[in-house]
């Protein structure tokens, strides 16, 4: 009997994970189709004028998830790349001469909180004890479930855990039960920004992110985040995955209740016994498929709460910068309606939050000698129209603040500049409404309430990545690929 052929669309973290797990199962051949000319999806890199820029993810959290991924294939992270634990983990900027360097050492971190709010150190112990439990249950149990049936969550133990997991309490209320200092509150609420909503709309279950941040630490792979992709591609090819680049799928062709083949933009057709779509879910569901086979209507998609998009600037600076760490969060503007607009309001914010990464502080290989690699990110609502004029306006707005707060000239030393926003996410990834991070992890978009990883009308079409379970972020995407691979093996007896 001939071996079944699985085709995976998209070489982001989820697509690579799914393809490698399936190839490792030994029950099928696997081809991975990538639209762009290099792997990684949002985690691609580019080089220009001696600078190497990671195009997307820049935070390495949850190192145990990466270790578990490679261990599934008898490998270790250290077989592929070297990790550095950042210390300080990152800096939080509240204004001129008002910056908190977040120490990697837990004792030093507690002491810092104690100075801000007497008693906060002891409160942190209680807060982290709950967060640790949520991390263990959430990352090592809940997110491993495919969320195809309510019965997956019907165990008595899990039902008893609902209250301990704080699923029905907001992160904002949860944090304020432990701390009252505004700086500590903002620090504790920051990690849920990765989940695409404000702390008022994210379940307190996700204080597990604080455990990942404070206890497990912030890391950096030498030479950049793309080293993870390079490692995953190497492992995929070792397992026999056939990688094909510049191979964009234009249509999923269906017959007899199954996907039969994929038609590429080039006109080539590729037969498939099973298809896993790691490309943008909405694009696959509404564009690549005949709408008769879509899981969700356009109206349903339009009601979904998306995580933000963003405006990115990749800058090469011809001098060393002072007063900046590897990761820098600029909270110098107050929270409120203007900040909230980055998630939900269909307009550009007047006073945006922003993030600056300077990986050359840690890694001299990403910039020429004596120069700096500067990555700026402004979170914005999805679905906005972006233009060169708006990008330039916000470039100067952010550089004004950066220069004022750090007390140095930056703009005149920029020798390379590239911007990236909604229209680029759409062009490169077919990203729905130009989103950068997928769906927000609100209560109404958790587990069974996320878009299903299985097509409801076709027996052999599955989905993986940031718009399905378990959700946005690099570690969840790795897990998403593993979860869907297990379902394919089970359903098709691979």
Q: What is the CATH number of the domain that holds 295?
A: 3.50.50.60
410 within a domain of the structure (yes/no): yes
161 within a domain of the structure (yes/no): yes
Same domain for 264 and 332, yes or no, is no
Going by pLDDT thresholds of 50, 70 and 90, the confidence category of residue 351 is confident
388 within a domain of the structure (yes/no): yes
Same domain for 116 and 232, yes or no, is no
97 within a domain of the structure (yes/no): no
Q: Give dist(CA 369, CA 316) in Å, integer.
A: 12
| Domain containing residue 295 | 4-82+223-304+445-492
199, 216, 233 - which closes a domain: 216
Tokens of residue 381, six digits? 């609502």
In percent, the amount of the chain with pLDDT more than 70 equals 96
Higher pLDDT, 27 or 102: 102
Same domain for 117 and 204, yes or no, is yes
Q: Which residue is associated with the tokens 């209507």?
A: 297
Same domain for 266 and 184, yes or no, is no
93 within a domain of the structure (yes/no): no
Same domain for 9 and 38, yes or no, is yes
Same domain for 77 and 110, yes or no, is no
Same domain for 282 and 319, yes or no, is no
Cβ neighbourhood burial of 236 (10 Å; 0-12, 13-18, 19+)? buried
Same domain for 248 and 272, yes or no, is yes
Name residue 436's beta-bridge partners: none
Say what the pLDDT of residue 158 is.
65
For 394-410, write each residue's pLDDT tens digit.
999 999 999 999 999 99
Same domain for 421 and 336, yes or no, is yes
Same domain for 182 and 331, yes or no, is no
Same domain for 312 and 300, yes or no, is no
398 within a domain of the structure (yes/no): yes
181: left (phi over 0), alpha (psi -120 to 50) or beta: beta
For 417-461, write each residue's pLDDT tens digit.
999 999 999 999 999 999 999 998 988 998 899 999 999 999 999
Q: Is the predicted pLDDT of residue 341 greater than 50, yes or no?
A: no
Into how many domains does the chain fold?
Answer: 3
Same domain for 75 and 162, yes or no, is no
175, 192, 216 - which closes a domain: 216
Tokens of residue 179, six digits? 């701390």
């Amino acid at each position: 009997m001939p071996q079944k052929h699985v085709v995976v669309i998209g070489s982001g973290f989820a697509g690579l994970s799914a393809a490698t797990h399936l190839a490792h199962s030994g029950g099928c051949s696997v081809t991975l189709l990538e639209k762009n000319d290099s792997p990684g999806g949002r985690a691609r890199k580019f080089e220009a004028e001696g600078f190497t820029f990671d195009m997307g993810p820049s935070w390495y959290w949850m190192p145990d998830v990466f270790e578990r991924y490679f261990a599934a294939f008898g490998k270790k992270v250290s077989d592929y790349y070297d990790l550095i634990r950042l210390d300080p983990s990152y800096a939080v900027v509240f204004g001129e001469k008002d910056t908190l360097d977040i120490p990697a050492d837990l004792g030093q971190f507690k002491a810092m909180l104690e100075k801000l709010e007497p008693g906060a150190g002891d409160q942190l112990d209680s807060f982290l004890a709950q967060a640790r439990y949520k991390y263990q249950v959430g990352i090592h149990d809940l997110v491993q479930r495919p969320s195809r049936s309510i019965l997956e969550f019907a165990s008595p133990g899990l039902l008893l855990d609902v209250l301990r997991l704080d699923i029905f309490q907001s992160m904002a209320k949860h944090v304020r039960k432990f701390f009252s200092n505004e700086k500590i509150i903002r620090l504790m609420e920051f990690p849920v920004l990765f989940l695409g909503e404000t702390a008022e709309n994210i379940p307190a279950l996700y204080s597990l992110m604080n455990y990942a941040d404070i206890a497990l630490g912030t890391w950096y792979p030498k030479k950049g985040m793309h080293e993870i992709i390079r490692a995953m591609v190497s492992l995929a090819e070792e397992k026999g995955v056939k990688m094909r680049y510049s191979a964009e799928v234009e249509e999923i062709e269906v017959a007899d209740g199954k996907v039969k083949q994929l038609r590429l933009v080039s006109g080539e057709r590729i037969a498939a016994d099973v298809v896993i779509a790691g490309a943008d879910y909405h694009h696959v569901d509404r564009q690549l498929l005949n709408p008769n086979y879509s899981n969700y209507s356009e109206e349903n998609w339009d009601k979904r709460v998306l995580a933000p998009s963003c405006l990115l600037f990749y800058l090469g600076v011809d001098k060393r910068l002072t007063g900046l760490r590897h990761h820098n969060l600029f909270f110098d503007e107050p929270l409120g309606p203007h900040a909230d607009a980055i998630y939900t309001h269909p307009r550009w914010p007047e006073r945006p939050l922003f993030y600056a990464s300077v990986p050359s502080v840690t890694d001299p290989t990403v910039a020429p000698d004596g120069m700096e690699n500067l990555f700026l990110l402004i979170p914005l609502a999805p679905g906005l129209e972006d233009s060169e004029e708006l990008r330039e306006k916000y470039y100067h707005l952010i550089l004004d603040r950066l220069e004022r707060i750090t007390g140095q000239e930056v703009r005149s030393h920029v020798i390379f500049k590239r911007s990236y926003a909604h229209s680029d996410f759409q062009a490169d990834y077919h990203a729905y409404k130009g989103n950068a991070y997928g769906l927000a992890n609100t209560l109404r978009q958790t587990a069974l309430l996320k878009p299903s990883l299985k097509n409801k009308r076709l027996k052999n079409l599955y989905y993986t990545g940031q718009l399905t379970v378990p959700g946005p972020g690099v570690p969840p995407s790795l897990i998403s690929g593993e979860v869907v691979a297990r379902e394919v093996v089970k359903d098709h007896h691979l």
